[in-house]
Structure formats: structure tokens, C-alpha cells
Amino acid sequence: MTSQQAALGALKRYFGYDSFRPGQQGIVESLLEGQDVLGVMPTGAGKSVCYQVPAALLPGITIVISPLISLMRDQVDALNDLGLTAAFVNTTQTPDEQSMVLAQVTAGQVRLLYVAPERLETGRFRDFAARTPISLIAVDEAHCVSQWGQDFRSSYLGIGDFIASLPTRPTIGAFTATATERVRQDIITILGLRDPAVTVTGFDRPNLYFDVVKLESKYKAAWIARYVADHEDESGIIYCATRKETEALAATLNQMGHPAVAYHGGMSPEVREQAQRDFITDRVPVVVATNAFGMGIDKSNVRFVIHHNMPESIEAYYQEAGRAGRDGEPSRCTLLWNESDIVTRRRLLDTDYENERLTPEEQEIVRQSKRRLLDGMVGYCRTTDCLHRYMTRYFGQELEDSFDRVDRGDADRDNADRHTGSEHGATPRKCGACSNCESTFETIDVTRVARAISRCVHDVNQRVGSGKIVKILRGSKAQDLAWLNPEQMPTFGMLKDVNEARIRDVLSQMATDGFLFIAEGRLPIVMFGKRAAETAAADFHYEIKRVERRRAQADGVGSNRSRLRGGVSAISDDALAGPALGVYVPDDDEEMLFQKLRDLRRTIAQEIGKPPYIVFSDKTLRDMARIRPVTDAQFLAVNGVGQHKLDLYGQRFMQTVASFNAGNMQ
């Protein structure tokens, strides 16, 4: 049997999947053939399978190095449930327990052993490792070796040493979701990967619906409460910027009868651990957290992630939002933002001196790069382009045409958009999975306003902020302008007839599009951007789009559940399947059966004391509700069902299906 056939066989037998996802097969085959690997895949793309399948097939054991001991128990439980023997050693166990686990491994009873990097430094573990045949070392969250990443852990620096200390060098697979080149280089050098096969998979996650909502701060809590009320049987994460906000919002939700727990770094470890468990086991559907929550959380049925504030970068946003929908089922990522979020973020950057070891020049370089990251995030909030496309382009990839999301060039786009009130939904560029593609845009010609702004920036010699520019253009007599002598300027009062908000909107959009550049300092100054000269050209034409949210509105305040269900189903399996843009909407029967299967899953999870998603993922239950299996063969055809799961749970689930079928026929 070739390694390809063996890999597919193991994927089906243990995991119940018929095919590999993009990137997985190459990685698995390289590892089986003894070549080191660096796998860069977004959260939820399926990194674990890349080392778990080889672990099932290689002769020696696989050691998985992972930073989060609190998750090891769940990961190990899930693997044992699939029929793949796994164990962990960490500080939550007594020395006797640890010895027992190591003895089991030595006796060949375990395929995968999970450890934290600190463990590799202990003499006892090194002795054990020296006398145990190890085929593969998988380093999870490998970006933790890099000081350039945000999650640096000094214990990761010892991994290279540990590998070098082994009598026979195993194959090394390193995995991360962090895409920057610098971090990748660090991983290769510090872990000492030898001629690794580097695989970077697509960063698009078609099952995620991206949604951007501009909302004044005072309305955010109500919006979220409404969303949660409309999705009370769904699991979700709400990210807030501060600890205080997480507690306040969790309290608000609880008062309104929507169970939620807060989670942040200021809580005691026990309380935090309990909050995490409550969330993972579906005891509490919603967690309201700071960004301390989530690294390594692999709860697969998180159906929504809402950001109460704008994060500092697209990288951070994508990692947090990407915790939704890891099972591939339709899930929603909503970002709530407003202009004051941007001001707050910018102010934080300027007052942030966390790294006092740096010289003032170095600090300025760091600040500049953080500003650029923030600009990327602001651009995401403001763009009227497809949000999937914005995201993947940010990560250096152009979307393929699976949704006909290819950029057809500016000429085409102008034709498509120039009718005021044109519906994006009617054009073929719609992705079907983001609020921009599902909104109606009204296009407004603002060429005159943009030109005037640009001239005014020239008149004031790029010396003032946006507030003053607006005042001058509107012909204000305010005292704080007197030193500029504005009345002498050609642009003074040039936009008397345009309201202030419109001028501000256009100015912001011009900064996003590169016509202007907002230089940060104690006070932000409006300067010319790279494209400034274009505004003086005779054929300059500039439009902004006012967004009228359509379905997105239905998901917020004033929504109703049945509409919403329809809306979200529209991006279900078809989105995953690729080009076909049909719409799959489950019928009522199927939805009812799905709920029954979920109830059974909860009962079983309670019986065995494990999180429900370990029994079966939402995706598997949905497929089961569609297929309605009543024989073993049918049950095995369900996505995510392998032989071991059939043996463990098949009978009970098939009974539920059978009695549902019978009930329906009466």
C-alpha cells in the first residue's frame, strides 16, 4: 500500500472523513516519508489531522508539544474516542500518575503523547525519551518560539535542544496559524527543521460569514443582547477590549436571562478554568472575554464570534474570529466598530511604552509598524469590497473564483456600480458570505468634495488635523483657526453647502484609499498620501458608497429568527463545496431531527463526562439529520463517523433516527 492510500485509509477509519482538506495530504505524506514539515494553516483548517494521521501509521510514538495544558485532557479524550490511543503528562498529575503514563507509553499502548514544552527539560522525561522509539515530534502553536509573534514563550526555545539530545532524530512537524515570513523563518531556525516542506494553505474560510457593523458605543450592548437572544441555542464568544467590559457585558446578558460567563486574565486561575469548562461543555453558551481567551481552544461548534471593539490588527482579528466554525458549518463573525474605537486604538499606540528596553528610535519603529497593522484593521471596517477578499488579500493571497469573487478590474467595477442604488446581490461578484456583498450600496459622487479636501490640505501646508480642515472648508470663523489666517485661503468656505459628517466621511475614505495619510503624533495631522496627485488630474472621479444593510440588519436589532436561519443557511454546504452557488436550506423536519440528535449528544456527553462536541461535531449531526442513517453502512457514510464512533454511539443515534422516521410517518 502506498503512503497515500494508507493516509486516506486512516483518515476514513479513525476520523470518518472521505478526503483531505487542502494542504493536509502533502503534509501527511511528507511526515510519513520522514521529511520535516512546516504547516501554516488558519485556525480551523485542520492542523491536528496532519500529525494525528501519521501518528496512527508510524511505527514509533508521536510526541505532541502544546503550550496549553488545560486543553490536553480534551484533546486526548477526543483521540481515544476516535480509537487512536493518546495520553498526556503534565503538572496536573501526581508524580505517580506521570510514571504510570510513561510506563504505558513504553509498553507500546499509546500512539500520541501530549506534553508541555517545560516537560522536555526534566531529567526524567529526557531519560524516558532516550529509551523510547519516537517517530514524530509535532510542535503545535509553533510561532511561540518567535519573539516577533505576540505569544512568545521562552520554554519553546528548549525544544531544539531536546530534539538534539535524542539518540535518533525523529521527523519534526511544526504547525502554526501565524502567517508572517519573519515568524516562519524563526520557527525553522530555532526548532532546527531540516529542509522542511513548507505548506501554506489558503486563508479563506468560506463557511464564515463576515459582518461589519458600525454602531455607536452606547448601542453595542443592546445589539449583542439581541443577537444572543436570537441565537439562544448557539455557542458564541464575545471579545471585549477590557476586563471591566467583559464583566459588565456578561452581567448585562445574565440579567436579561441569557447565561454568559466572563473570562479575563485578572480572574483567579480556578475561576477562569471553571469559566472555560462551562463554555466548552456547553453548560453556558456564551463567553465574554478579553483576548486572553482562546489560544488553542478547539471547541468546534462555536457558531458566532462578536467583537465588541475593533482589535489592533487583522492578524489578531482573524485569529480570534477564526475560532468560529471550526467544524466547517456556517458561522458568523461580527465586528462592531465606530470612529471613537479608532481614536482610542490610536491613542493607546502613542502612549504604549511597554518595551522600555528599546531605544527611542526603536520604539518609533515598533510604533510605526503597529500603526500600519492598525491601518489594515481600519481598512477592513471601512471597505465596501468583499470582506473575504479583503482578508485573503491582506494575507497575500488573491481569492480564486470559487465565488466568482475575482477582481474584474476597475473598469468593470465602475460599470457595475455606477447606477445609484445598484444591488451588489445582483452582480456576479457576490461571495454570499459577507455583509458587504449582501448589502445594497448607494453610490454617491463626491469628486468635488474630495478635490476640495485635497486642495485644503495643500493650503494649510499639511499642518493640521481633520477637524480644522473641515472647519476651513465650511468657512468657520472659529478662534482656534485664526493663526492660520484661513480667510486668505482659496478653499475657505468652498464646501459651505456640504454637511460636516459628509466631509468627514470622504476624508476618512480618502485616507483609507491612499489619497491622504493621517500622520500620528500627539495630534493626528492630515497629510498627502501616495495617490494624492491623482486628485488634481482632470479626469479624477471619486465615489463613496453608503451601505444599506439588508440581511445583516436582520441579524441585529429587530431581527426575527426564521429569517435569520434562512440567511445563515444560505452559506452552508454550498459555500464549502466551491463553485456551485445553490442555496441549501434545511427543511423543518431536518431541523427537528437535528435538535433531537443534539439532545441525545448532550445526554451521552453528560454520561461520559466529556464535552458534547467530542461525541460528534455539529457538522456530523447535521449530516446525520440529512442522511437519516438506520444501517451501519449508512451511519459510516455520515461525515465525521469512523468505525470506532459507530461502535461507541451508532446504535443510540440510529434508534433516535428510526423513531423519528416512524413518528413522521404516522
Nearer CB in complex with ligand ADP: 319/512: 319
In angstroms, give the least distance from the CB of 648 to ligand ADP: 16
CB neighbourhood size of 1 (10 A): 8
Least separation in angstroms between residue 503's CB and ligand ADP is 44
Q: By CB under 6 A, tell whether 178 contacts ligand ADP.
A: no
Q: Dihedral (C-alpha) 344, 350, 355, 357: value to the nearest 10 degrees?
A: -170
> Cell digits for 626?
440529512
In terms of CB distance, is 47 or 332 closer to ligand ADP?
Answer: 47
Minimum CB distance to ligand ADP smaller for 149 or for 567: 149
Residue 143 in the binding site for ligand ADP (CB under 6 A): no
The continuous run of DSSP H or E covering 205 comes out as none
Identify which of residues 235 and 439 has a Cβ nearer to ligand ADP in the complex.
Answer: 235
**In whole angstroms, how close is the CB of 201 to ligand ADP at the nearest point?**
9
Total H helices, total E strands in the chain: 28, 17
Q: What is residue 532's DSSP assignment?
A: G
Q: Which is nearer to ligand ADP, 49 or 314 (CB)?
A: 49
Among residues 146, 176, 300, 384, which is the contact residue for ligand ADP, using CB under 6 A? 300
Q: Is 329 in the site for ligand ADP (CB under 6 A)?
A: no
Closest CA to 275 of 243, 307, 306, 313: 243
Contact stretch for ligand ADP (CB under 6 A) within 46-54, 387-395, 441-449, 527-535: 46-54
Does position 334 interact with ligand ADP (CB under 6 A)? The reply is: no
Q: Does 128 bind ligand ADP (CB under 6 A)?
A: no
Using CB under 6 A as the binding rule, whether residue 327 contacts ligand ADP is answered as: yes
Which alpha helices (H) appear in 460-499, and where do they start and end? 466-473
Kindly determine how many residues on this chain lie close enough to bind ligand ADP according to the rule CB under 6 A: 17
- For residue 560, the SS3 value is coil
Q: Find out whether 43 and 327 touch, Cβ atoms under 8 Å.
A: no
Per-residue x/- track, 611-640, ligand ADP (CB under 6 A): ------x-----------------------
Contact between 117 and 190 under an 8 Å Cβ cutoff? The reply is no
Question: Which CB sits closer to ligand ADP, 24 or 290?
Answer: 24
Among 10, 23, 44, 134, binds ligand ADP (CB under 6 A): 44
Q: How far is the CB of 639 from ligand ADP (least distance, A)?
A: 7
**Pair 434, 387: CB distance under 8 Å:** yes
Total length of the chain: 666
Q: Is 276 in the site for ligand ADP (CB under 6 A)?
A: no
Residue of the chain from 8, 31, 40, 49 that contacts ligand ADP (CB under 6 A): 49
Q: Does 573 bind ligand ADP (CB under 6 A)?
A: no
The 3-state DSSP composition of the chain as helix, strand, coil percent (nearest 5) reads 50, 15, 35
User: What is the torsional sign of CA 40, 44, 45, 48?
Assistant: positive
- Identify which of residues 57 and 250 has a Cβ nearer to ligand ADP in the complex: 57
Q: Are 376 and 313 in contact (CB under 8 A)?
A: yes
Using the minimum distance from each CB to ligand ADP, give the nearer residue, 276 or 436: 276
Which of 48, 135, 309, 338 is in the footprint of ligand ADP by CB under 6 A? Answer: 48
Using the rule CB under 6 A, is 512 a contact of ligand ADP? no
Q: Alpha-carbon torsion 67, 68, 73, 76, what sign?
A: negative
Q: How many CB atoms lie within 10 A of CB 390?
A: 20
Q: Indicate whether 54 belongs to the interface with ligand ADP (CB under 6 A).
A: no
Closest CA to 515 of 503, 497, 531: 531
Burial per residue of 248-264, b for 16 or more beta-carbon CB atoms within 10 angstroms, e otherwise: ebbebbbeeebebbbbb
Among 27, 32, 43, 67, the residue binding ligand ADP under the rule CB under 6 A is: 43
Instruction: Return the C-alpha cell found at 177.
Output: 496559524
Partner residues linked to 335 by β-bridges: 212, 307
17 or 239: whose CB is closer to ligand ADP?
Answer: 17
The residue number whose beta carbon is nearest to ligand ADP equals 46
Using CB under 6 A as the binding rule, whether residue 141 contacts ligand ADP is answered as no
Give the DSSP letter of residue 465: -
**Among 72, 68, 78, CA closest to 610:** 78
The nearer residue to ligand ADP, 331 or 402, going by C-beta atoms, is 331
- CB–CB of 453/510 below 8 Å? yes
Least Å from the CB of residue 289 to ligand ADP:
18
Binds ligand ADP (CB under 6 A): choice among 45, 250, 456, 460: 45
Residue number with CB closer to ligand ADP (325 or 486):
325
Q: Does 71 bind ligand ADP (CB under 6 A)?
A: no
- From the list 119, 143, 272, 326, which residue makes contact with ligand ADP (rule: CB under 6 A)? 326
Q: Is 21 a residue that touches ligand ADP (CB under 6 A)?
A: yes
Asked if residues 624 and 650 have their Cβ atoms less than 8 Å apart, the reply is no
CB of 48 to ligand ADP, least distance (A): 3
Out of 36, 81, 245, 298, point to the residue binding ligand ADP (CB under 6 A): 298
Output the smallest distance, CB 157 to ligand ADP, in A: 23
Is 384 a residue that touches ligand ADP (CB under 6 A)?
A: no
**Residue 519: alpha-carbon gap to chain centroid:** 30
> Residue 542 in contact with residue 450, Cβ under 8 Å?
yes
Taking the complex as a whole, the smallest distance from the CB of residue 232 to ligand ADP amounts, in Å, to 23
How is residue 407 annotated by DSSP? -
Segment interacting with ligand ADP, rule: CB under 6 A, options 1-9, 20-28, 242-250, 264-272: 20-28
What are the angstrom distances between the C-alpha of 100 and each of 89, 166, 584?
10, 22, 50
Query: For residues 111 and 55, is the Cβ–Cβ distance under 8 A?
Result: yes
* Residues near ligand ADP (CB under 6 A): 17, 20-21, 24, 41, 43-49, 298, 300, 326-327, 617
